[in-house]
Structure 1
């Protein structure tokens, strides 16, 4: 069995590699070629913690996998990751466990790439300004994906704590020193999204993190953070403004996300206003962006097939490049 750390994964896979892997996963999912059941979540109300289990199988990859993730919001104050996990890759012929890899990083990597795929497929062609709301563990890969998917001149960042936002921006400037544009801290979400072409929200917020009326024509919004009913990053009014609404999995978003539940409950939209899944756009079954003025929402909650395709891609590249630690062989 091959053990792979974040450092190992970074050696063999770029963000553009992962965006390509996510696009393949979405295509397979919408073709119905995968088994990716809704994830069981064990939630502890007293601690506001989650234990999440995400299995998937793809016959054409001859592989199965499972990711086990924990989310402990209080870890931020302890200097520990809020989200932690492990991914296991399993051989589809023998049931052999092929690899265990850093699921915390795989989650950050493939979730960032999900926004990158959405911007690659649905973003306006002349996007120059990005906005990132959230500075937690997943924020770096979200920023990395945004920069990989579009030739931006400026990215504005906002979060609840402005001092933390400034520290995050300072660190990102060092990490992405080759980025020719500006990364700018903002005090509010409204300031960050004003006139932004590409917008990412990656927070567990129970209330909207910016006002819908700050969103410009032509913007593409990737809503990443809300995967439970009590999470609601996106202003419900935004759904009423949107020209198109896409999902990673319509079923999963309807089941899990407060971002989707609130505008439906408030009758701002109905399910007939949904455009479809990103995989259907890739397959040419439904249209993508048809005008540079369209406001497009891409709501994703994360589906197990993303982890499986990511893990299979990483494992194959690691074997080819002789990267990783062999265990019990």
Structure 2
């Protein structure tokens, strides 16, 4: 027996209009506060031929209504190469495709919200100055996510282009009401900062952050090294960190250029590296009490995509903003 049904589509414009940082951060903290079976959020898979690639991140969140996958692909040898993202959500109550979500903006939302969820448990609960290395979309989203969990006394940003860092600082002050300014070097931005965000890899994959720049009790968020060829932080940052929390523990430790470089430099980090579940479940309370410098290192995972996409789909449906699609999927009974 077969039946038909129609899903809905959620655009990036709709996602932007319904998204709330605090809700996403709370949902991610809840998702990581319980055991996450490895099979519920497997490592990303990549299919590639030449310069054409397709990457998939999937997850079945424990206790969530929706499960699904994000698919992204690019043909770099095409006339106009670009990357597009699609999140497919299945409804656990009906076993059917409930929605298709444009994943481009969701990817930025979930990355920043995950970082803020971790930082909220890692960083001391007091006002702090935030140093930002990078001035792109990821950096912009992270500043807004971090501002929702910590009082920021000042934002100091460095990126190579003076006009971009000035525009970034102006937008941060306008949107958040926090004094912000651009500076001419990464070291100047980081000097004395309690919170440090690395959200931009350098040209040539050279490190943009060094351990001797860091304040004694700095908390670092690093998101820019996600594969072996990418670099963002110097091995000295790994060496100077007392606790390292990773969203995908094995991927971060075994498949990111930063951690591979640290291993090659002879730095031992396995015993001070922990998962998001360790952090959210309270397992790290003793380690955190004795830690000065704490770091969160992220590669992104399907669990984050699906948790945040569920929030967005649910709110879009409640507000009547999801677009009904003039298509039907055939379902087979099982």
TM-score range, shorter chain: 0.7 to 0.9
Alignment root-mean-square deviation, CA: 2.6
1:193 pairs with 179, 190, 193, which one? 190
Q: How many angstroms does 1:215 deviate by?
A: 0.3
| Greater alpha carbon shift after TM alignment, 163-172 vs 13-22 | 163-172
Is 1:230 matched with 2:229? yes
User: Which residue of structure 1 aligns with residue 238 of structure 2?
Assistant: 239
Distance 2:45 2:60 in 1: 16
User: Which residue of structure 2 aligns with residue 36 of structure 1?
Assistant: 41
| Greater alpha carbon shift after TM alignment, 254-263 vs 83-92 | 83-92
User: Which residue of structure 2 aligns with residue 219 of structure 1?
Assistant: 218
Is 1:135 matched with 2:141? no
User: Which residue of structure 1 aligns with residue 263 of structure 2?
Assistant: 264
User: Which residue of structure 1 aligns with residue 11 of structure 2?
Assistant: 5
- Indicate conservation of the 8 Å contact 2:207/2:232, yes or no: yes
The higher radius of gyration belongs to: 2
Secondary structure of the residue aligned to 2:99 is strand
User: Which residue of structure 2 aligns with residue 202 of structure 1?
Assistant: 199
Q: How many angstroms does 1:62 deviate by?
A: 4.3
User: Which residue of structure 1 aligns with residue 158 of structure 2?
Assistant: 158
Distance 2:45 2:207 in 1: 26
Distance 1:166 1:58 in 2: 40
- Indicate conservation of the 8 Å contact 1:153/1:180, yes or no: no
1:89-108 correspondence to structure 2 within 5 Å:
89-108=89-108
- Indicate conservation of the 8 Å contact 1:201/1:224, yes or no: yes
Secondary structure of the residue aligned to 1:21 is helix
Secondary structure of the residue aligned to 2:88 is strand
Secondary structure of the residue aligned to 2:261 is helix
Is 1:284 matched with 2:269? no
Counterparts in 2 of 1:118 and 1:58: CA distance versus 1, 3 Å: closer
Q: How many angstroms does 1:71 deviate by?
A: 7.3
Is 1:14 matched with 2:11? no
Q: Deviations over 1:184-234 (max 9, x none)?
A: 112221111111111111123322112211100111111111101111111
Secondary structure of the residue aligned to 1:87 is strand
- Indicate conservation of the 8 Å contact 2:9/2:323, yes or no: yes
Counterparts in 2 of 1:44 and 1:226: CA distance versus 1, 3 Å: farther
Matched residue count: 316
Secondary structure of the residue aligned to 1:66 is strand
Counterparts in 2 of 1:50 and 1:204: CA distance versus 1, 3 Å: farther
User: Which residue of structure 2 aligns with residue 69 of structure 1?
Assistant: 72
Unaligned runs of 5+ in 2: 1-6, 328-334
Unaligned runs of 5+ in 1: none
Q: TM-score, normalised by structure 1?
A: 0.87
Q: Deviations over 1:52-109 (max 9, x none)?
A: 21111235224321112357999xxx9x9x7642211112354422111121110000
